[in-house]
Amino acid sequence: MFIGAQVSLYPMTSDFVGVITAGLEALAPHRDRLRVETDDMSTLMVGPPDALFDAIRDLFAGAARGPAHVTLHATISRGCPGEPDDPACRCETLAQAQTQALSERQALAHGAVQDATVLGVGIDVQFSLYAMGEGRHMDEIYGCIAFLKTSGTFQRSKNFCTRLRGDAGPVFETLHQAFLRFGPAQGHVTLDLTASANSPGLR
Protein backbone atom coordinates (compact mmCIF):
# COMPACT_ATOMS: atom_id res chain seq x y z
CA MET A 1 0.00 0.00 0.00
CA PHE A 2 1.05 3.60 -0.63
CA ILE A 3 -0.01 6.22 1.97
CA GLY A 4 0.82 9.90 1.78
CA ALA A 5 -0.25 13.52 1.52
CA GLN A 6 0.43 16.70 -0.43
CA VAL A 7 0.24 19.55 2.09
CA SER A 8 0.38 23.34 1.59
CA LEU A 9 0.39 26.17 4.12
CA TYR A 10 -1.14 29.51 3.12
CA PRO A 11 -0.23 32.23 5.65
CA MET A 12 -2.19 35.49 5.27
CA THR A 13 0.79 37.74 6.06
CA SER A 14 3.60 39.46 4.15
CA ASP A 15 5.98 37.29 6.25
CA PHE A 16 4.55 34.15 4.64
CA VAL A 17 8.02 32.62 4.10
CA GLY A 18 8.77 32.92 7.85
CA VAL A 19 5.49 31.21 8.79
CA ILE A 20 5.97 28.39 6.24
CA THR A 21 9.56 27.92 7.45
CA ALA A 22 8.39 27.72 11.10
CA GLY A 23 5.90 25.03 10.07
CA LEU A 24 8.50 23.04 8.11
CA GLU A 25 10.93 23.22 11.07
CA ALA A 26 8.28 21.52 13.23
CA LEU A 27 8.53 18.51 10.87
CA ALA A 28 12.07 17.75 12.08
CA PRO A 29 11.10 15.02 14.64
CA HIS A 30 9.03 13.19 11.97
CA ARG A 31 11.58 13.07 9.13
CA ASP A 32 13.02 9.70 10.17
CA ARG A 33 9.58 8.01 9.79
CA LEU A 34 8.41 9.80 6.62
CA ARG A 35 9.72 10.65 3.17
CA VAL A 36 9.38 14.45 2.99
CA GLU A 37 9.86 16.47 -0.24
CA THR A 38 9.12 20.22 -0.36
CA ASP A 39 8.77 22.24 -3.56
CA ASP A 40 7.25 25.64 -4.48
CA MET A 41 3.63 24.34 -4.29
CA SER A 42 3.48 21.84 -1.43
CA THR A 43 5.21 19.28 0.74
CA LEU A 44 4.86 15.56 0.00
CA MET A 45 4.88 13.22 2.99
CA VAL A 46 4.87 9.44 2.53
CA GLY A 47 4.65 6.91 5.36
CA PRO A 48 2.36 5.22 7.91
CA PRO A 49 -0.81 7.09 9.00
CA ASP A 50 0.20 7.69 12.64
CA ALA A 51 3.42 9.44 11.60
CA LEU A 52 1.64 11.24 8.75
CA PHE A 53 -1.12 12.82 10.87
CA ASP A 54 1.27 13.73 13.71
CA ALA A 55 3.50 15.46 11.15
CA ILE A 56 0.65 17.42 9.50
CA ARG A 57 -0.60 18.40 12.98
CA ASP A 58 2.83 19.68 14.03
CA LEU A 59 3.38 21.46 10.68
CA PHE A 60 0.11 23.34 11.15
CA ALA A 61 0.56 23.96 14.91
CA GLY A 62 4.07 25.30 14.20
CA ALA A 63 2.64 27.79 11.72
CA ALA A 64 -0.45 28.60 13.85
CA ARG A 65 1.53 29.49 17.00
CA GLY A 66 2.30 32.92 15.49
CA PRO A 67 -0.34 35.67 15.33
CA ALA A 68 -0.96 35.41 11.56
CA HIS A 69 -4.09 33.94 10.05
CA VAL A 70 -2.95 30.73 8.33
CA THR A 71 -4.73 27.99 6.41
CA LEU A 72 -3.56 24.55 5.36
CA HIS A 73 -4.82 22.40 2.52
CA ALA A 74 -4.00 18.70 2.32
CA THR A 75 -4.92 15.86 -0.01
CA ILE A 76 -4.31 12.62 1.92
CA SER A 77 -4.54 9.22 0.21
CA ARG A 78 -4.20 5.53 1.04
CA GLY A 79 -4.39 2.50 -1.24
CA CYS A 80 -4.44 4.37 -4.56
CA PRO A 81 -4.18 1.58 -7.19
CA GLY A 82 -2.04 3.86 -9.38
CA GLU A 83 0.75 4.22 -6.81
CA PRO A 84 3.60 1.76 -6.14
CA ASP A 85 3.48 -0.46 -3.05
CA ASP A 86 5.74 0.96 -0.35
CA PRO A 87 6.61 -1.29 2.63
CA ALA A 88 7.42 1.86 4.67
CA CYS A 89 3.65 2.63 4.70
CA ARG A 90 2.72 -0.65 6.43
CA CYS A 91 0.06 -0.09 9.08
CA GLU A 92 -1.01 -2.68 11.65
CA THR A 93 -4.28 -0.83 12.43
CA LEU A 94 -5.37 -1.10 8.77
CA ALA A 95 -4.48 -4.82 8.72
CA GLN A 96 -6.65 -5.36 11.83
CA ALA A 97 -9.55 -3.22 10.50
CA GLN A 98 -10.30 -5.87 7.85
CA THR A 99 -11.91 -8.12 10.47
CA GLN A 100 -13.45 -5.45 12.74
CA ALA A 101 -17.16 -4.51 12.66
CA LEU A 102 -18.10 -0.85 12.16
CA SER A 103 -19.20 -0.55 15.82
CA GLU A 104 -15.82 -1.84 17.05
CA ARG A 105 -13.95 0.60 14.80
CA GLN A 106 -16.14 3.48 16.07
CA ALA A 107 -15.33 2.59 19.69
CA LEU A 108 -11.57 2.36 18.98
CA ALA A 109 -11.64 5.70 17.13
CA HIS A 110 -13.47 7.34 20.03
CA GLY A 111 -10.93 6.04 22.57
CA ALA A 112 -8.00 7.32 20.50
CA VAL A 113 -9.43 10.87 20.43
CA GLN A 114 -10.01 10.75 24.21
CA ASP A 115 -6.31 9.89 24.67
CA ALA A 116 -4.96 12.56 22.27
CA THR A 117 -2.30 14.99 23.53
CA VAL A 118 -3.53 18.59 23.94
CA LEU A 119 -1.17 21.06 22.20
CA GLY A 120 -2.67 24.41 23.31
CA VAL A 121 -3.35 25.55 19.71
CA GLY A 122 -7.00 26.11 18.75
CA ILE A 123 -7.94 25.32 15.15
CA ASP A 124 -10.90 24.99 12.78
CA VAL A 125 -11.11 22.24 10.20
CA GLN A 126 -13.37 21.33 7.30
CA PHE A 127 -12.92 17.94 5.62
CA SER A 128 -14.42 15.28 3.39
CA LEU A 129 -13.67 11.54 3.45
CA TYR A 130 -13.98 9.72 0.13
CA ALA A 131 -14.17 5.91 0.24
CA MET A 132 -13.63 4.78 -3.33
CA GLY A 133 -15.17 1.67 -4.79
CA GLU A 134 -18.59 0.28 -5.45
CA GLY A 135 -21.21 -1.18 -3.18
CA ARG A 136 -22.29 0.17 0.19
CA HIS A 137 -19.59 2.81 0.58
CA MET A 138 -22.06 5.26 2.18
CA ASP A 139 -22.45 2.87 5.16
CA GLU A 140 -18.80 3.62 5.97
CA ILE A 141 -19.27 7.38 5.51
CA TYR A 142 -22.38 7.44 7.72
CA GLY A 143 -20.53 5.28 10.27
CA CYS A 144 -17.67 7.77 10.21
CA ILE A 145 -20.04 10.73 10.66
CA ALA A 146 -21.63 8.97 13.67
CA PHE A 147 -18.14 8.67 15.19
CA LEU A 148 -17.39 12.34 14.41
CA LYS A 149 -20.54 13.46 16.23
CA THR A 150 -19.33 11.76 19.44
CA SER A 151 -15.66 12.75 19.05
CA GLY A 152 -15.80 15.96 21.12
CA THR A 153 -14.35 17.90 18.14
CA PHE A 154 -17.50 17.95 15.95
CA GLN A 155 -18.75 21.42 15.11
CA ARG A 156 -21.35 20.89 12.36
CA SER A 157 -22.23 19.11 9.15
CA LYS A 158 -22.22 21.08 5.89
CA ASN A 159 -22.96 20.14 2.31
CA PHE A 160 -20.23 17.72 1.14
CA CYS A 161 -18.11 18.04 4.33
CA THR A 162 -17.88 18.18 8.14
CA ARG A 163 -16.47 20.94 10.32
CA LEU A 164 -14.41 20.22 13.44
CA ARG A 165 -13.16 22.68 16.03
CA GLY A 166 -10.88 22.49 19.04
CA ASP A 167 -7.31 21.90 20.09
CA ALA A 168 -5.00 20.72 17.28
CA GLY A 169 -4.21 17.49 19.21
CA PRO A 170 -7.72 15.99 19.41
CA VAL A 171 -8.81 17.55 16.08
CA PHE A 172 -5.94 15.90 14.14
CA GLU A 173 -6.52 12.64 16.05
CA THR A 174 -10.17 12.74 14.91
CA LEU A 175 -8.99 13.16 11.29
CA HIS A 176 -6.44 10.34 11.73
CA GLN A 177 -9.14 7.98 13.04
CA ALA A 178 -11.61 8.93 10.28
CA PHE A 179 -8.96 8.19 7.63
CA LEU A 180 -7.78 4.91 9.23
CA ARG A 181 -10.86 3.18 10.48
CA PHE A 182 -13.52 3.95 7.87
CA GLY A 183 -13.71 2.90 4.23
CA PRO A 184 -12.27 -0.34 2.84
CA ALA A 185 -9.17 -1.34 4.86
CA GLN A 186 -7.28 -2.45 1.74
CA GLY A 187 -9.10 -0.14 -0.72
CA HIS A 188 -8.59 3.41 -1.95
CA VAL A 189 -9.59 6.16 0.52
CA THR A 190 -8.82 9.88 0.29
CA LEU A 191 -9.37 12.79 2.65
CA ASP A 192 -9.60 16.43 1.56
CA LEU A 193 -8.69 18.79 4.40
CA THR A 194 -8.73 22.55 4.98
CA ALA A 195 -7.57 23.88 8.37
CA SER A 196 -7.63 27.46 9.63
CA ALA A 197 -6.14 29.22 12.67
CA ASN A 198 -6.15 32.82 13.93
CA SER A 199 -8.89 33.84 11.51
CA PRO A 200 -9.93 37.48 12.05
CA GLY A 201 -13.43 36.31 11.15
CA LEU A 202 -13.60 34.58 14.54
CA ARG A 203 -12.51 37.56 16.66
Binding footprint of ligand VIB on the chain (CB under 6 A): 7-9, 17, 20, 23, 38, 40-43, 59
Q: Binding site residues, as ranges? A: 9, 43
CB of 38 to ligand VIB, least distance (A): 5
Minimal CB distance residue for ligand VIB: 43
The contacts of residue 174 (CB under 8 Å, 6+ apart) are 109, 113, 148, 151, 153, 164
Q: Binding site residues for thiamine, as ranges? A: 9, 43
d(CA 35, CA 154): 31
User: Among residues 70 and 89, whose Cβ is nearest to ligand VIB?
Assistant: 70
User: Among residues 17 and 88, whose Cβ is nearest to ligand VIB?
Assistant: 17
CB of 9 to ligand VIB, least distance (A): 4
User: Among residues 20 and 197, whose Cβ is nearest to ligand VIB?
Assistant: 20
Dihedral of CA atoms 175, 124, 137, 173 in degrees, nearest 10, equals: 10
3-state secondary structure of 193: strand
Are 180 and 91 contacting, i.e. CB atoms less than 8 angstroms apart? yes
CB of 63 to ligand VIB, least distance (A): 8
CB of 52 to ligand VIB, least distance (A): 13
User: Among residues 8 and 114, whose Cβ is nearest to ligand VIB?
Assistant: 8
User: Among residues 30 and 181, whose Cβ is nearest to ligand VIB?
Assistant: 30
CB of 45 to ligand VIB, least distance (A): 9
Q: Which amino acid would we find at residue 135?
A: G
Closest to 175 (Cα-Cα) out of 57, 58, 27: 57
For residue 159, the tally of other CB atoms under 10 A from its CB is 4
3-state secondary structure of 82: coil
